[in-house]
Amino acid sequence: MNTRQMIERRGNRTKAVLPVKVKGTDKAGNAFEDLAHTLDVTAVGARLGGIRHELKLQDEVTVFYRQRKTQFRVVWIKKMQGTSEFQIGLQALSQDKEGWGLGQEQQSVPAKVPLSMAQGSV
């Protein structure tokens, strides 16, 4: 990761595979709707996989997750080798502290515990 990427990142990523619906306009100017999934999320963005339409940088898309609807800007695009799918990086156009509905307890990664402690001494 280069210095510019480190400076631009605004939050810790949480690995989360969540089903989403993405609506927008593709590179050719056609409206689309894709069923996709998150790969990881932050309070202000996400990385999505399973996008089947080619987009452009700075395109705006709407992402639907559960009862939530959020507007995002496309900040990077990666064509997946050997498939017709893309991964995209998104930045939220408005900041919602709990945009993905993941509570703080769900966002933290559990600490590794030695096997002897995990089994307990009952």
Please report, in tens digits, the pLDDT of each residue of the chain (122 residues total): 444 444 455 568 889 899 999 999 999 999 999 999 999 998 889 999 999 999 999 999 999 999 889 999 999 999 999 999 999 999 999 876 666 777 643 443 433 333 433 334 43
pLDDT for 104 equals 47
pLDDT for 98 equals 65
Q: How many other β-carbons are positioned within 10 Å of the β-carbon of residue 50?
A: 19
pLDDT for 11 equals 63
CATH number for position 113:
2.40.10.220
pLDDT for 101 equals 75
Q: What's the predicted TM-score (pTM) here?
A: 0.73
Distances, alpha carbon 6 to alpha carbons 3, 21, 37, 89, in Å: 5, 29, 24, 15
Please report the DSSP string for the chain in residue order. Answer: --HHHHHH--S--EE---EEEEEEE-TTS-EEEEEEEEEEEETTEEEEEEE-S---TT-EEEEEETTEEEEEEEEEEEEPTTSS-EEEEEEESS--TTTT---HHHHSPPPP--HHHHH---
User: How many distinct structural domains can be found in the chain?
Assistant: 1
Domain range holding 21? 3-119
